[in-house]
């Protein structure tokens, strides 16, 4: 009897497979790191073949753990968004490296389109802004600059990572779900279809793009593991985390602290608009009906700690950061603005560069590490201010992702935001959301609300920091950010 759900959670720095029981228990996990390619400053690429082979290895481990494919009721897939894969329909092999969401190679092109007055139209149609973060400019750039894509002709297929994985799992099904499609800047967010005007603006032929489908349903099946397993859930990682956090009612808000940090506030079937440079996005689509969210995107979160560990040698492990931060009573005036890939919302400055300010001979390693952790709460506070300006202020924040396991960070968020911060016992809510969608798509649950019971228990962190101390920190952060924006 099929009594488990297999989730593929394909992230930026690693890919993994997780096995869930139908009551929400995680029965196992297999993970592989992904190679990060930086061919030049501002350029970030992945090997799409590596993504596939390492994802397949992880999935095979979990199918074996389940006791065979016949024990798996459905597959759910969640993925790093905006990253673009280019492959040959005939061979099923990549034609180039994938261009990662962090990549900034199209910054000048996006700036040109903005100068020509196109941003208002793009925002009205897509809910997004003109920024190299989104997929459309990456696709257009690749079509103009990589001759092998032109040579492929009608054999060329393009898609975000979930589209690539579905193709490989099914041997040729070319689909993308509405959440990932809404992050390309090629989909009209109101109608849910590819938009001819946007395709022309970015120079993207409709024929190379996948079909847009719901987030739950029976999309196809894979026979790579033996008995056929249906693929029943698809969503971008941040939308999957929103579902996994049971943010299903308007006003519910979650923040995921992974490679980057992403805050989504559910708005129901009402399409939000922003006057403070936030994004409107599809939260999920079921039965052709789209539910929306307002989103704020921070480009650098967990990747900052990885950088401190791997490149600066300030940490032996990521987990050490909590103890180091606790070893000093304050930041001693040190602030770290983590614009290593530019600044995201609400600034949207791809040209911005990171800075550590306030250094003196009294500053120690611990102050820099603490400043890196504090930057997460500072960036989140900037987003809270923007959300409030758009009429979507938060009364509670549900957090998840790898960094959320850090108790010091969770408490610092509560202190700096001045609201309750709630963390589930199982913080890998991106995978949980994909499991919930797959369960709904397979008919194991009647609705997302019913599937939300899988979320489990939570722990609350409440504000403790005195108001004047909070303001001192925020004032120092504002000065640090302004110094970066002015350079």
Residue range(s) defining the domain that contains residue 38: 4-237
Q: Which of 276, 307, 311 is nearest to 294 (CA)?
A: 276
What does each of the 487 residues of the chain score in pLDDT, given as a tens digit?
678 999 999 998 899 999 999 998 999 999 999 999 999 988 999 999 999 999 999 999 999 999 999 999 999 999 999 999 999 999 999 999 999 998 999 999 999 999 999 999 999 999 998 989 899 999 999 999 999 999 999 999 999 999 999 999 998 999 999 999 999 999 999 899 999 999 999 999 999 999 999 999 999 999 999 999 999 999 999 999 999 999 999 999 999 998 889 999 999 998 998 888 899 999 999 999 999 999 998 888 888 998 999 988 888 888 888 898 899 999 999 999 999 888 888 888 878 899 999 999 999 999 999 999 999 999 999 999 999 999 999 999 999 988 898 999 999 999 999 999 999 988 889 999 999 999 999 999 999 999 998 888 899 999 999 999 999 999 999 999 999 888 6
Cα dihedral 262→267→273→275 (10° resolution): -60
Residue 1 confidence (pLDDT): 65
Backbone angles phi, psi at 7, to 5 degrees: -115, 130
Backbone angles phi, psi at 184, to 5 degrees: -90, -20
Give the pLDDT confidence of 293-322 residue by residue, as tens digits. 999 988 888 889 989 999 888 888 888 888
Residue 376 domain-assigned (yes or no): no
Backbone angles phi, psi at 472, to 5 degrees: -60, -45
Rounded CA gap, 211 and 116, in Å? 30
Q: What is the CATH number of the domain that holds 98?
A: 3.30.420.40
Residue 120 domain-assigned (yes or no): yes
Q: Which residue has the tokens 């719901």?
A: 214
Judged on CB neighbours under 10 Å (0-12, 13-18, 19+), 276 is middle
Residue 124 domain-assigned (yes or no): yes
Number of domains observed in the structure of the chain: 1
Backbone torsion region of residue 218, taken as left when φ is above 0, otherwise alpha when ψ lies between -120 and 50, otherwise beta: beta
Residue 349 confidence (pLDDT): 86
Residue 328 domain-assigned (yes or no): no
Residue 230 domain-assigned (yes or no): yes
pTM of this structure: 0.87
Kindly state the tokens that stand for 282: 């599809």
Strands 279-286 and 289-298: antiparallel
Residue 223 domain-assigned (yes or no): yes
Q: Which of 245, 130, 240, 121 is nearest to 188 (CA)?
A: 121
215 CB-near residues (< 8 Å, 6+ apart):
177, 178, 179, 233, 234, 235, 239, 284, 285, 286, 437, 441
Residue 417 domain-assigned (yes or no): no
Task: With H, G, I as helix, E, B as strand and everything else as coil, classify residue 352.
Answer: coil
Judged on CB neighbours under 10 Å (0-12, 13-18, 19+), 147 is exposed
Residue 179 domain-assigned (yes or no): yes
Backbone torsion region of residue 126, taken as left when φ is above 0, otherwise alpha when ψ lies between -120 and 50, otherwise beta: alpha
């Amino acid at each position: 009897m099929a009594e488990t759900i297999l989730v593929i959670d394909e992230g930026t720095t690693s890919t993994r497979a997780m096995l869930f029981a139908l009551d929400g228990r995680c029965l196992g996990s297999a993970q592989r790191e992904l190679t990060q390619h930086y061919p030049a400053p501002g350029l970030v690429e992945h090997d799409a073949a590596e993504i596939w082979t390492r994802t397949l290895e992880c999935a095979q481990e979990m199918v074996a753990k389940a006791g065979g494919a016949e024990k798996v009721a459905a597959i759910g897939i969640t993925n790093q968004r905006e990253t673009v894969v280019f492959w040959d329909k005939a061979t099923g092999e990549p034609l180039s490296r994938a261009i990662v969401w962090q990549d900034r190679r199209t910054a000048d092109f996006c700036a040109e389109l903005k100068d020509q007055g196109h941003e208002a139209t793009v925002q009205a149609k897509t809910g997004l802004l003109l920024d190299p973060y989104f997929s459309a400019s990456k696709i257009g750039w690749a079509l103009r600059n990589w001759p092998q894509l032109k040579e492929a002709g009608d054999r060329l297929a393009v898609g975000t990572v979930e589209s690539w994985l579905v193709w490989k799992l099914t041997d040729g099904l070319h689909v993308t779900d509405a959440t990932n499609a809404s992050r390309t800047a090629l989909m009209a967010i109101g109608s849910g279809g590819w938009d001819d005007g946007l395709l022309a603006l970015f120079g993207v032929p409709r024929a190379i793009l996948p079909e847009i489908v719901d987030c739950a349903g029976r999309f196809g099946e894979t026979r790579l593991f033996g008995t056929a397993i249906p693929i029943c859930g698809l969503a971008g990682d941040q939308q999957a985390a929103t579902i996994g956090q049971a943010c299903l009612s308007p006003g519910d808000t979650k923040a995921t602290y992974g490679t980057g940090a992403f805050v989504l506030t559910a708005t129901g079937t009402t399409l939000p608009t922003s006057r403070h440079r936030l994004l409107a996005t599809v939260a999920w689509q079921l039965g052709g009906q789209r539910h929306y969210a307002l989103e704020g995107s921070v480009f650098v979160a967990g990747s900052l700690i990885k950088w401190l560990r791997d490149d600066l040698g300030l940490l032996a492990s990521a987990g050490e950061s909590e103890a180091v931060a606790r070893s000093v009573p304050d930041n001693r005036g040190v602030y770290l603005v983590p614009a290593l890939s530019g600044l995201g919302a609400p600034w949207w400055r791809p040209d911005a560069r990171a800075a550590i300010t306030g250094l003196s001979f009294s500053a120690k390693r611990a102050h820099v590490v603490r400043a890196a952790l504090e930057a997460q709460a500072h960036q989140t506070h900037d987003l809270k201010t923007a959300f409030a300006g758009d009429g979507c202020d938060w009364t509670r924040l549900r957090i998840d992702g790898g960094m959320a396991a850090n108790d010091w960070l969770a408490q610092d968020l509560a202190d700096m935001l001045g609201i309750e911060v709630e963390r589930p016992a199982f913080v890998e809510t991106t995978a949980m959301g994909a499991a919930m969608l797959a369960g709904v798509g397979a008919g194991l649950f009647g609705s997302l609300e019913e599937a939300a019971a899988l979320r489990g228990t939570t722990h609350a962190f409440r504000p403790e920091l005195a108001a004047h101390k909070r303001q001192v920190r925020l004032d120092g952060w504002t000065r640090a950010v302004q110094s970066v924006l002015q350079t």
